Structure 1
């Protein structure tokens, strides 16, 4: 079911021509900074992968990938990617990337089960990135270091936007706040996970929530995560579980938190087997991706995705992602959005 937020008194700061220029400048500037911060090489990515190899991202395990038969492959099915979380790790191995270096790519996906609204579209575009790491780096401190590097690129990009369009004042704090999902639960025990995100982001402006996918003390997860890419079950030295997380910022236009990135240290063999068992998905161990990982054919890595349209929406102070990208929307949402000052492309 679609859901539309209509901010009172909203008025776009940029016209359509300025918006298109801003989108181009943001994408060019940010990806150059991301590449420099993490030492990433750009690669070309697929729009679809063969079904049954375990390469596609399963997200929360309930989203249906868009599939189609391939005539020249005896009608074998292909799937439009949800993301490239596992494909990137295969590519690191095939390209023989050294530790400390990695890859990034433009990921374009179709997620037909999305609940459409200000932040969710059928069309997903993001920078997917992956970097080879050592076993000694499989810890929370290294995860935080990478997050801080990405956040530094985010802050620099916002200032670039301000130089282009002086009416858009920078709002990101200079430092990002880290908190584990369990500590967030203890801080706001009566709130839902989404409301907890809103409150912590309202307070700090930019937050990285660690431990997405692990079970918290109330017996629930902060949010779901597939069992075969992020490591959310390893216990760190501080006793908390999870080597992954989500990066969120406070969006003053929508008066709520917005997730810009999901990322984490990836599973090693032990974590993969443990998480498949937790998720009652042990049959996946025989799939192509999982088989290569369990046979030590894939490097240890850290990686994630950063939403391109969401990032541009945040920087350009837009109220609807449809003001940034072309997609399909319900007729009533188009009419209501236009009436609320949010004409959708």
Structure 2
């Protein structure tokens, strides 16, 4: 059952037809901005991977992938959760040179997602990965990349407002950086979600770093798989959503693990069994390029820039009957 919020007096600022044209503009303009700023090139990506390779994203480690047998191939396929690991292997296979990278349209099914205004079982995002030098594995390079992505968002927002004057949302370009430990120290009596809301209300655009680490309180701000992001060099891009009056996650990203970081994080996470998987063997033996990468929600970005209160207004998915009935009563069109 979904958790649905409809803000008082909510009305979608565009007609349904205008909405579709605006979504098209966002996709075209943002992709162009991203490729120019990060030096990326588009590649084709899989909808599913072989479950025995360890390539699928484990997310928080408890979500079940959609699996199916393939008799003629003699294995089982898993619909991807994301392409976090596949992209790094693709950098090697497609021979991307240092300083260049890839992006792709990633479509996933997350069957265990708890659906609400922001979450759907269907996930669409721009997945990207860039080949970097070992010397770039530092916080300053991470921050520089975050500023570039936020710049892409702001530039697309400007183009969108020029094309559709009814739209008024203007994202804040300046990014406030802080770690999950700094956030806990600042708001020790709040939950992780409440902390994110409080800091986004104050600064509007935030990059929250070091997700996956255990905090001094003995808890984690949020889970993160141990085998793609370096927990010291990752984070989420958060912006304030004035329609929902809440924090709004647009991207999860980070500098990826090297062999020593993977070794350490597998031990900390109790995931030693993954060492035998082909992808992890390549990483531990130093056979994959150093990289930085992440995912940027396509429907999420459209939500933020266009002003809908529900993700179902900008993407087609499945919803429970209560959500359908409530939205219809409120005059909200779910695709």
> Do both proteins adopt the same fold according to a TM-score greater than 0.5, normalized to the shorter chain?
yes
Question: Which residue does the alignment assign to 1:7?
Answer: 7
Match of 2:243 among 216, 239, 253: 253
Indicate which of 324, 327, 335 corresponds to 1:334. Answer: 324
Contact kept in structure 2, 1:334 and 1:343, CA below 8 Å: no
Query: SS of the residue aligned with 1:73?
Result: coil
Separation (CA, whole Å) in 2 of partners of 1:170 and 1:332: 30
After superposition, give the CA deviation of every residue in 1:83-108 in whole Å (9 maximum; x if it has no partner).
00000000001112111110000000
Aligned ranges 1:313-328 → 2 under 5 Å: 313-328=303-318
Which segments of structure 1 move beyond 4 Å, counting only runs of 4 or more? none
Q: Contact between 1:10 and 1:341, CA under 8 Å: does it hold in 2?
A: no
Residue 97 of structure 1 is matched in structure 2 by: 96
Q: Which residue in the other structure is 2:87 paired with?
A: 88
Corresponding residue for residue 214 of structure 2: 215
Aligned to 1:294: 284
Map 1:1-345 → 2, pairs under 5 A: 1-74=1-74, 76-232=75-231, 242-345=232-335
CA distance in 2, matches of 1:19, 1:168: 11
Secondary structure, in 3 states, of the residue corresponding to 2:221?
coil
CA–CA distance in structure 1, aligned partners of residues 172 and 271 of structure 2:
41
SS in 2 for 1:36: helix
TM-score by length of 1: 0.96
- Describe the superposition over 1:309-334 as per-residue Cα deviations: whole angstroms up to 9, x where unpaired: 01001111000000001101011101
d(CA) in 1 for partners of 2:195, 2:280: 34
Q: Report the CA distance between 1:288 and its aligned residue.
A: 1.0
Higher alpha-carbon deviation: 334-343 or 272-281: 334-343
Question: Given that residues 258 and 286 in structure 2 are in contact (C-alpha distance below 8 angstroms), is that contact kept between their aligned partners in structure 1?
Answer: no
1:202–1:257 Cα contact (<8 Å) kept: yes
Task: For residue 37 of structure 1, give the secondary structure of its aligned residue in structure 2.
Answer: helix
Q: Following TM superposition, by how much is the alpha carbon of 1:206 offset from its aligned partner in structure 2, in angstroms? A: 0.7
How far apart, in 2, do the equivalents of 1:164 and 1:171 lie? 14
* Cα distance in 2 between the residues matched to 1:192 and 1:6: 23
How far off its partner does 1:170 sit?
Answer: 3.5
Distance 1:193 1:145 in 2: 25
Query: What is the alpha-carbon distance in structure 1 between the residues aligned to residue 260 and residue 161 of structure 2?
Result: 46
Deviation at 1:243, TM superposition (A): 0.3
CA contact (8 A) 2:169 2:307 kept: no
Q: What CA distance in whole angstroms lies between the structure 2 residues aligned with 1:342 and 1:307? A: 22
How many angstroms apart in 1 are the aligned matches of 2:99 and 2:218? 37
Three-state SS of the structure 2 residue aligned to 1:103 is: strand
Q: CA deviation at 1:341?
A: 3.2
- TM-fit CA distance, 1:171: 2.6
Superposition deviation, residue 342 in structure 1: 2.1
Secondary structure of the structure 2 residue equivalent to 1:231: strand
Task: Compute the displacement of 1:167 (Å).
Answer: 1.8
Structure 2 unmatched runs, 5+ = none
**CA shift digits 1:159-194 (9 cap, x unpaired):** 111101112123311211111111111111100000
1:218-237 per-position Cα deviation (integer Å, ceiling 9, x unaligned)? 111111000000000xxxxx
| Aligned-partner Cα distance in 2 for 1:338–1:185 | 40
Q: Which structure 1 residue ranges, 5 or more long, are not aligned? A: 233-241
